Each structure stands twice: as structure tokens, then as C-alpha cells.
Structure 1
């Protein structure tokens, strides 16, 4: 079975890119395709791989800083890469990588991090990304056309794999397609259980509006407890202006420093709704409880009362109450660690390898719900 790997873009290095890095490590002979890459920021082993990109897009001024604003170019970028010569094409997607061209009869496996939020859930996305109401209205018209095109591309995919049950539901709702769930890999072996709890909680996140770090900042202002915010992004200045004296911003730190801060913390604060969320699993790998908003992937990774505390009202007050509950529980650090091990890299690789071996022998596309009912 000749396998090829495809990803939306390799410009920011987040959870989706770690999945791609894991696949590239496991399948070193598989060619890798993406729209554009920032070769100075690539994770290992991606930094050692030959990557096929749309060079004309990479030369676009300002792409690295504003790559999301160039979304209209990404379909053309993937179409310009030529036809991928592989029997099985594994496509990591939360955007436009489904536009890649494949040879006739190829099996396409879309590992879906989420159907693209910016045109399937535009109100939520545009609220944080576009401040001008007139521009928001104009953008919705263009996004509707992309939504129709994305639906059409999704019907050409042979198999969908969702990164969580939350995403699985959206694949069925938006694309009307069946999918299997394989959770993303987390390198839990990088972390050690630390029974020592410091005097602070940690937020580990990109600082963008939809992550709702402001909810955590306001909660800790109310509590007067210490909070360390690790990460950077366009929302940082606003958050710093909102923060009281007990909230500290460390910015972007290296993996070793982030691990040290996490292992010494009282726990992790996960204030927004994520499709999966790597940080809660990493915190649990350290034996640390997670205080998380009870929606999305947190419902699959955090066991309320055993490995963390969930809150269900999207308010700073509800988060603050959850922190107080967390402080009162005598946590079993090793029980928390065992929960994290369900998401370890070997588990992902075994499940994904088994799936690829199974589908590599057939090119029959999964039925849509409408086809299954016919």
C-alpha cells in the first residue's frame, strides 16, 4: 500500500500539526503535501522531511502572520500541487486539504479535526475575527459559497475519521457522512506524575478570542488566586488589560518550560469549548486535575470528580465555583495519569494503522445516511 499524507498548512504548530508529525514519524516513506509551510517552525520530524507545497502561495507577502485571511487561495493552492500518486491518501483537515487531487481509484481517508468553523459556524467565528458588522455581513455571503463547495468535496472522500465524538456529530450534521472516532495522539511519556501541587493554576492556550481565556482571567480576578497563562496570540493585550494582580502572562515558552510549569501546578484551567483539546490530556499525564468547560472534547477526556471538575455554565462565576470545588478534592494523581494513557501515541498509531490496513484493501466509499436508508 503506497500512502501519502496531506495537511491544510504547516504554518502554526498546534495539536493538528502534532498529529501530522506523528503520522510522518510512523510512515517515513510517505510523501507529504500541504498548501504552505513555515520551515523555521516545523516540528520534528517534519523539519527533516521533503514537503510539497504551493511555492507561489508561500511567496505571498504577510502569509505567515495572516495566513487565515488568505483562505480564498487555499483551494487553488491544493489544486496546483498536481495529482497525488498513492493508493491511499490520508488527509488531515480542518480546512481546505480535501481539495487535493488524487489518482482515479485512490482511497481517501480524511482525519477530520473539525469541519471548517469559519463557514459552517460563521456567527461564532466572525464574532471573534471580524469586528466590523458590515464586513461580517458581507463575509457571510462568501462563506455560504465555500460551505456548498466544502460539502461537495466531502462527498468525494472515501472514509472519514473524527478526532472526537463531538466532531463525529458535526461530520454527520454538516456532511451527512458516517465516521469512526480515533482520538489524537498525546505524547504522555514526556510527562511525569508530580504529587506536589504549587500555589497556581495554569492556562495553556493560544490567546485568541474563541479559546475564552478571558473567562479564566475574570474568574481568577474574582478568586484572588494565582493563574499563570502560557501562550501568545492576538488577544494577549486585551487579556492583560483585563487581568488583576494575581494573573501572570508568560507568553510563548519552550516545551521543557511548559512541562515544568504544568508538573508543578495545582491543575489546568480549560475554559473554552474545543473539539478535542491536547492540553487537558497533557495535564492529566502529570497527574494534575483539569477544570474544564463541560462541552466538546472535554466530555471525552475529563472524568468529572475523578480526573477533574467540569462546569456547565459559560461564565466566570461558574468557573470560579469549579476551582473552589477542585481545591477541596483529595485527588488520586495516579488515577488521573491512567486516564491520560488512553490517549497515548501507541494507542493512536495502532488504531490508525489498523484502520488504514483495513480500508487499503477496498475503494468502496462509506455510505451517506441517505444512501444507507435507501
Structure 2
């Protein structure tokens, strides 16, 4: 079984890029394709693989330039990237991975973290929210075009996979597909550890972007005066640093070991955003540390909320994305005693070996069944895919 794995882009360190590394462990002989690759921007493990990139690679040396050139050059580049000669194509995707040119007889699995956010949730971007007049008109035209392309290219899939019940429903709604199999992304628990040191600070680990709501955490801690460490980088970094008072520190460019130490020795991870899944809460609980999280999105399916017994919980939720609601959750947290061993044990239910077993079994079973069919009728382009 010849396997290709396709991912949107390998330019940064995020949860999706970790999932792809686990997919490569499930299918170690797979070839890897992507829009663009920056070895210094993403996880160093990718240096162990041969990575096939699109024509945008030559112009896309940073995330900023990749995003600037995405429309229309990135879309065109991915449509031009040929993924031929494979029995199975496993697509790891939010935006452009599914646009690639695939053989009509390949079996296609599309693992979607969430439908293309710019096309389907443009208000997640400050650039859209703040646009006016002719700029908003142009924005809407581009978004409508991207939505049309995105829905069309999603029809390439034979099988659809999602992270949670909520994201599975988004996939059904956006792409008009019926069956979506849920396989939760993994956390590599071996990379995290428990610590007996006294906990002195709270922690945020996030890309510093508009929809991540890091500003909410900073404003709450400005008022509380408690120590907070913010780990990450992004387009809002300078703005957030100006907002923060001296009790808040910023870190970036950390090694895996340095980040693991910060997780292990924090009081709790602050998770203020509405996230489709959320790998960082799982990394925190893999370190035995509880999470203070906004009560929406993926944390509803990965965390055990406090309901009167902190020893059997992994998180305290807050109901509204307001300073007062977050402060109330922090103040409640300070009165509770969590069990680090219980928290870490819960994280192990999401360990990478669980993901590897599930994705490998799902793909190989579907491939085996497809091979057992005698002389299958070829699908019409409208039923399977139109390569353009």
C-alpha cells in the first residue's frame, strides 16, 4: 500500500503539525507533500523526512509571506502539486491540502481540523472585522470564491475524519458530506513530566493572534496582579506586550524541554480561546497541571470539568469570554486541590499510540475492503473529484 500524506503547510509549530508527525509514525514509509516548508519555523523532527513542496516554496520563506501570497498564488500552487502513484492519500487539512492533484483511482482520506477558517469563519480574523467599504467588498468577493473552491475540492474525499463532534458537524455543514469519523488528535505524553516544585506562575501557550484571546488573559492578570508567563509568537505580539503589566512575562523560541519545564511547574494553564480542539490543554494535563478554560469547543470533549470534587477533575471552566468571568474561575481555582496523578492519567487516554492505532486501522481496513471489491465501477467526476 503506497501512502502519501499531504499537509497544508509546514511553517510553524502547532497542533496540526504534531498530528502529521504522528501520522508519519503510523505510516513510516509515506511520502510527505505540503504547500511550503520552513525547517526553522516548524518542529525539528521534519528534518528527518523528504518533503515535497509546491512552487510557492521559492517565494514563501516565512508565515507572513505565505499568507500574503496565499490568494491566488498559494491556491494555484497547491492545485499544481501532483500527488500521483499512490494507493492511499491521507490529507491533513484546514485549508489547501485537499487542493492537490490526485490520481482518480487513489483512496482519499481527508482529516479536517476545521473547515477553512477564512472561508467559513472570516470574523475570526481581525483584518476582516476591521475592514470597511471597498476593502470589505473585496474581502467578501475573495471569501465567496474561496468557499466555492473549498467545497468543490473537499469532494475528492472517499472518507472524512474530524477531531470532535463539533468539528465533525462543521465538516458536514460546509462540505455537504454525511459520514465523518472522529479520531481525536494525540498528545505525546512521553514529552511531559510531573514536578514537585512549588508552583509560582500561571501559563499561556498560544500563537499570538486575534482569535486566540490572549488579550483577555493579559487583562485579567493585569487586574489580579498574579504572575503569568505567555509563550508564543504572532502578529499581535507587540500589541500584547504593550498591554501587559510587569507581572506578565513573554517567552518565545523555546526548546521542547524548556516548554515542558514551564508546563510542569505552572499553577495552571490559562486557555481563554474558543478552540476547535486544543492541544495545549492536553500538554498541560500530561504534565499533571490543571487547565482554566473557556467552556466551549474541544475542551468539552477532552477535559473533565470541576463539579464539586477537584481530585476527579482536570479543569475549571468559565462561561463567558470576559475579564470578570475569567477572574472568577481563577479565584475558584485558587481554593481547590487537584490531583496531578489523576490529571496525567486522563491525558494518557489521548496518547499518540491511541491515535496511531486508530488511524492505521481505519485506513488499512478501508483500503483492504476497497481492494476486495471485484471490478468496481469507476466514479464519475461529479461523484468523486474534479482535478483542476
**Shorter-chain TM-score range:** over 0.9
The structure 1 residue matched to 2:353, chosen from 346, 351, 363, is 346
Please say if residues 24 and 46 of structure 1, whose CA atoms lie closer than 8 Å, have aligned partners that are also in contact: no
Indicate the residue corresponding to 1:2 in structure 2.
2
Indicate the residue corresponding to 1:324 in structure 2.
331
Taking only aligned residues, the RMSD between alpha carbons, in angstroms, comes to: 1.9
CA distance in 2, matches of 1:107, 1:197: 52
Deviates more, 1:239-248 or 1:20-29: 20-29
CA distance in 1, matches of 2:350, 2:228: 27
Deviation at 1:26, TM superposition (A): 3.2
Matched, 1:33 2:46: no
Please say if residues 107 and 362 of structure 1, whose CA atoms lie closer than 8 Å, have aligned partners that are also in contact: no
Indicate the residue corresponding to 1:107 in structure 2.
107
Deviation at 1:143, TM superposition (A): 0.9
Write the deviation string for residues 234-291 of structure 1: whole angstroms up to 9, x where unpaired.
1111111111221111233221111111111101000101111111001101111100
Deviation at 1:348, TM superposition (A): 0.4
Indicate the residue corresponding to 1:286 in structure 2.
287
Residues 223-302 of structure 1 correspond to what in structure 2 (within 5 A)?
223-302=224-303
Please say if residues 123 and 129 of structure 2, whose CA atoms lie closer than 8 Å, have aligned partners that are also in contact: no
CA distance in 2, matches of 1:151, 1:142: 14
SS in 2 for 1:152: helix
Indicate the residue corresponding to 2:57 in structure 1.
58
CA distance in 1, matches of 2:358, 2:152: 28
Which consecutive residues of structure 2, in runs of 5 or more, have no partner in the other structure?
307-312, 371-375, 377-382, 384-388
CA distance in 2, matches of 1:22, 1:259: 19
Indicate the residue corresponding to 2:142 in structure 1.
142
Output the TM-score relative to the length of structure 1: 0.92
Deviation at 1:58, TM superposition (A): 1.4
Please say if residues 195 and 333 of structure 1, whose CA atoms lie closer than 8 Å, have aligned partners that are also in contact: no
Deviation at 1:362, TM superposition (A): 4.1
Please say if residues 159 and 179 of structure 1, whose CA atoms lie closer than 8 Å, have aligned partners that are also in contact: yes
Please say if residues 63 and 70 of structure 1, whose CA atoms lie closer than 8 Å, have aligned partners that are also in contact: no
Specify whether residues 19 and 131 from structure 1 end up closer, same or farther in structure 2 by C-alpha distance, changes over 3 A only: same
Deviates more, 1:24-33 or 1:308-317: 24-33
SS in 2 for 1:328: coil
Matched, 1:71 2:70: yes
Write the deviation string for residues 342-361 of structure 1: whole angstroms up to 9, x where unpaired.
11000000111111112112
CA distance in 2, matches of 1:205, 1:241: 17
CA distance in 1, matches of 2:251, 2:184: 29
CA distance in 1, matches of 2:233, 2:42: 18
Please say if residues 24 and 45 of structure 1, whose CA atoms lie closer than 8 Å, have aligned partners that are also in contact: no
CA distance in 2, matches of 1:35, 1:203: 29
Specify whether residues 328 and 8 from structure 1 end up closer, same or farther in structure 2 by C-alpha distance, changes over 3 A only: same
Please say if residues 205 and 230 of structure 1, whose CA atoms lie closer than 8 Å, have aligned partners that are also in contact: yes
**Number of equivalenced pairs:** 364
Please say if residues 206 and 233 of structure 1, whose CA atoms lie closer than 8 Å, have aligned partners that are also in contact: yes
Which consecutive residues of structure 1, in runs of 5 or more, have no partner in the other structure?
365-370
Matched, 1:18 2:14: no
Indicate the residue corresponding to 1:81 in structure 2.
81
CA distance in 2, matches of 1:94, 1:164: 14
